[in-house]
């Protein structure tokens, strides 16, 4: 692919990275996911799209900006022509950031006048209408995201959310423009460019036809920001422009048992845990209070996993918002870090013992697990659900991972993932 068409996407967590990578890969683009900024020795020359997974969604603002700047500098040095800042489709962020400050930095570093803000992913119920972000038809601030322990979303207006974090103006692009009133859109953008050095455009995007129109109109943009909904439309345009064959790049299943680790407290993940349990499959819940008291340890949890080595095992710390609030009395940061370390240690022991299939639910948990395992780059395979592919580490091709954002997937997600990866003990 011509260098001006190669795209580097920088994602704020690993599940977000695998999410957007799955959409580019499905359009026939050779897509690589890297865990952190690639080293100069990593060969990414043959990839049409490289997605860099950082872990910056909830870090301090200055740290997030610094890490994203380093990733962007790597992409510029490696002669990518297009860039995409990927964040969650529920705009997970606090009034201080990190979405606004990172996007500001990218516009400044790339010297672009404006970029678009597209958190929409209609296939998973994330839509924007009149600047308001909806989750399954409910305004963001009325959805379960209002209870998120780290980034509670109490406003649904993207313009307000971004304006609280960014130095630059935010304007809305209504449905008529999103559907192709290109003359009016061009006049408005020209006026805004004369008026401001940098600014953001929030287009309506609640139908797939909007996504296609946005990708077509803004095809020559250097920088995009948003969720993964726009990726399939951008990827299709890239593939058509470069004559790609639209081959899928499948990753086959493997034999052996599976470990499922769930740290997300989203409504979707809680439902998936319940559905798994109703099948009578083995599971154990990690209790934060018991961890603090030393009554649950890595050793006791590992003993349970080892006792069920012939089939899938679920280990979860996910809980209801009410119980989470009680746990936070111990200090949310302390408990979150304790749980992440515990889950990543269990994943590491599982892989060391020969386990070859790992499913992880939750962005922060997935980031901790992948960093612990040390895998640096992944091929993208078949989707378990929209935005959730099977991944194969390039330095361990016998291993399969499924890493999902907490909000993604239907109730049968864990069962679907086990079947797709070749779990023999699941009907």
Q: List the chain domain ranges.
A: 3-242, 258-421
CA 271 to chain CA centroid, nearest Å: 20
Residue 222 structure tokens:
């250097």
pLDDT along the chain (427 residues), means of 10: 83 92 92 91 86 94 98 96 96 93 98 97 94 96 85 93 97 72 82 96 94 93 97 95 60 84 90 96 90 88 93 88 60 72 94 94 87 91 90 91 91 95 64
**Topology of domain 258-421, per CATH?**
Molybdenum Cofactor Biosythetic Enzyme; Chain A (3.40.980)
Write down the pLDDT at residue 326: 63
- CATH 3.30.1330.60 given to domain 3-242: no
- Cβ contact 286:292 at 8 Å: no
What residue has token string 């890969």? Answer: 25
For CA atoms 197, 64, 393, 282, the dihedral sign is negative
Write down the pLDDT at residue 425: 57
How many other β-carbons are positioned within 10 Å of the β-carbon of residue 267? Answer: 18
Region of 197 on the Ramachandran plot (φ > 0 left; ψ -120 to 50 alpha; else beta):
alpha
- Cβ contact 256:310 at 8 Å: no
- Measure Cα distances from 287 to 38, 85, 284, 316, 319 in Å: 36, 35, 9, 9, 9
């Amino acid at each position: 692919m011509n260098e001006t068409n190669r795209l580097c996407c920088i994602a704020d967590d690993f599940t977000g990275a695998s999410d957007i990578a799955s959409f580019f890969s499905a359009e026939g683009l050779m897509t690589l996911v890297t865990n952190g900024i690639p080293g100069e020795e990593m060969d990414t020359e043959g990839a049409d799209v490289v997605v860099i997974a950082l872990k910056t969604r909830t870090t301090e603002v200055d740290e997030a900006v610094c890490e994203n700047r380093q990733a962007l500098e790597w992409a510029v040095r490696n002669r990518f022509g297009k860039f995409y800042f990927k964040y969650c489709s529920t705009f997970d962020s606090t009034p201080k950031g990190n979405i606004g400050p990172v996007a500001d930095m990218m516009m400044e570093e790339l010297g672009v006048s404006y970029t678009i803000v597209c958190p929409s992913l209609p296939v998973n119920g994330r839509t924007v209408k009149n600047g308001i972000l909806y989750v399954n038809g409910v305004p963001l601030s009325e959805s379960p995201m209002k209870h998120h322990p780290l980034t509670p979303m109490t406003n649904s207006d993207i313009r307000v959310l971004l304006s609280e974090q960014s130095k630059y103006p935010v304007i809305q692009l209504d449905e008529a423009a999103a559907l192709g009133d290109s003359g009016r859109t061009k006049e408005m953008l020209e006026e805004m460019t004369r008026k401001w050095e940098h600014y953001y455009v929030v287009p309506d995007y609640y139908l797939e036809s909007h996504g296609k129109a946005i990708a077509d109109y803004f095809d020559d943009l250097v920088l995009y920001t948003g969720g993964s909904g726009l990726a399939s439309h951008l990827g299709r345009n890239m593939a058509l422009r470069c004559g790609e064959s639209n081959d899928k790049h499948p990753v086959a299943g493997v034999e052996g048992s599976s470990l499922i680790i769930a740290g997300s407290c989203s409504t979707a993940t809680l439902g998936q845990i319940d559905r798994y349990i109703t099948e009578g499959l083995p599971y154990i819940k990690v209790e934060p209070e018991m961890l603090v008291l030393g009554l649950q340890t890595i050793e006791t949890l590992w003993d349970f996993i080892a006792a069920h080595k012939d089939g899938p095992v679920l280990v979860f710390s996910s809980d209801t918002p009410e119980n989470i609030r009680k746990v936070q009395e111990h200090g949310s940061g302390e408990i979150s870090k304790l749980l992440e370390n515990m889950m990543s240690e269990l994943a590491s022991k599982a892989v060391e013992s020969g386990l070859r299939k790992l499913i992880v639910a939750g962005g922060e948990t997935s980031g901790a697990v992948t960093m612990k395992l040390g895998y640096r780059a992944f091929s993208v395979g078949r989707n378990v659900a929209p935005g959730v592919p099977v991944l194969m580490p390039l330095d361990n091709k016998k291993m399969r991972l499924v890493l999902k954002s907490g909000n993604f997937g239907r109730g049968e997600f864990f069962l679907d993932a086990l079947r797709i990866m070749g779990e023999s003990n699941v009907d």
